[in-house]
Structure 1
Amino acid sequence: MENYNKTSTDFILLGLFPPSNIGLFFFILIILIFLMALFDNLSMILPILVDTHLHTPMYFLLSQLSLTDLNYISTIVPKMASNFLFGNKSISFIGCWIQSFLFLTLAAAEALLLASMAYDHHVAVCFPLHYPIYMSKKVCVLMIIGSWVIGSVNSCANTTYVLHIPYCQSRAINHFFCDVPAMLTLACMDTWVYENTVFVTATFFLVLPFIGITCSYGHVLLAIYRMHSADGRKKVYSICSTHLTVVTFYYAPFAYTYLRRRSLRTPTEDKVLAVFYTILTPVLNPIIYSLRNKEVKGALRRVLHRICSLKMDTNYLP
């Protein structure tokens, strides 16, 4: 590792990729995933905003999840790409605070929105007649606002503390973004109290929602077992299994990183695990939750048809 000394208040992000052909290959792969995430999430948000057939609580939650994913991956990848391409690995004190704040806010909102999606599916399958009551527009809006407010308050408290602790001579963060556990290794003070606080916070935002999601889908699977229609069972089981897969893909590496003591972690392992919940999940969510949905595909086709019609009409204008 290069010896980056404390010559200013800036931090240094050591990055994810080694300066080699292998590093270039993975960099290009990450950029392609990033572009795919942008396209997939925009393809989810646009039809829901435009098509009135999708103005329901479930699709409103999906649009918020896609919006979160869009901002989530955009908070991490552009800076990482800039550092790799131009070799300038520094990030200002304020820039690090903003990136850390946005990351923690979006990560918490994502976790809570995934739990809200599981609740929506639980109500839709287990209590279909009561769905308009249990998942009304008011309940949906409260879920979304609650996710953002709770996530913002949590991230503000965490980032304010982390960036006010004294740092040693080295300001080199062995990560590809300003992640709290990686920053704590640079502190010139004992941070065990804060590490315990992170453990409690991670339990609240990761373990408890994951338990809730597991219970929700457990009830859904029990309801599937009682279904008389084989086609219905197959369809719902397929949806639940894919949703559980992407949820595990997000929660497991996140929890594994944030719930372990510092002495049990390695920088390389933390960076590899972070790729799962910062880069891969935002591209998987729209594919798993939405783009395989026939209603979403139909709405997307209608939106594209309108755009093409407008272009043709413009071409024929005198």
Structure 2
Amino acid sequence: MNAAAADTRSTLAWLPGLIAAAAAAAAAWGIHWLVPAIPLLTAAVALGIIVGQLPFARPAITGSLAPGLAVASRRLMRIGIVLLGLKLSLVDIAKLGWLTILTTVVIVVLTFVGTIGLGRLFRLPGQQPLLVATGFSICGASAIGAMSGVVRAKDEETATPVALVTLCGTLAIFVLPVFWHPLGLTSVQFGHWAGAGVHDVGQVVATAQIAGSAALAVALVVKLTRVLMLAPMVALTSVVERRRHVDPDPAAKRPPIVPLFVAGFIAAMLVRSFLPVPPAVLNGADTLQTLLLAMALFGLGSAVRLRTLLGTGWRALAVGLLSWVLIAALALGAVELSS
């Protein structure tokens, strides 16, 4: 009875934060519905950042809402990433051709390594170089959430990369179209550039749709090829962390070789690729995945403290902007090479 009562209390402690995250996800959906150019997940992160700065809201965020927001930003994030695998079809990716696939993988690796180098050059603390590199090279804030769980990053370490990737990804929605015609790109080439160089899936959609449906289709497949890199990158980092983990207690828990949610992501991708999944199931999974990630990203955004970021985060801002320029330049080069 005592154990059951404790479990009930634990569940009840989660509820306020989960309800707040769900309400924020609904608000983000409303913003996206009113202004389609604003991706839903970007709106969710932005709402979290805004709420996190309100003096009257901070006591609740760090108090009664904290357990539920922690569950949202960690557990719901991982479930959402598993469902993200259902968006990936290896058949669709194979249709891009080996050169496009190869250049996309190279862009991810070079941006990842280059951003880590920039983070160390600018002396970012803790796991921030790794998290910024993950977000900018793979798939935005959701990738940061996945990687932070593997390296056991602190909330403060995660918050700054999430804010940076949201800022730069939002800027890309407005900046890349300005260069579309001056660079002499066709609509399909512009879609390729957006898919290879913009961070979050929603931001890619908002950027590429301006060039039409053909550009959007190419952008999504290229982007999902980058998302495919999430599993090996996270798994490799987990192996490295496992080897680096030194603890005098042999019974101490070590990071798993392949995190469970990464295995789930791969399994979902294989199901999508080789089994006939009904469209209704795919649509339902897509809606649920968007809801879970929106709740998770609101939780991550609420941990951002702009005063701290503005006071000490100029180095992080410089790394973010340089990484954004790096991936945009590499992506443009890949478009020219693949043409």
TM-score by length of 2: 0.33
Question: Comparing both chains, which one has the higher relative contact order based on Cα–Cα distances under 8 Å and sequence gaps of 6 or more?
Answer: 2
TM-score by length of 1: 0.35
Rg larger in structure? 1
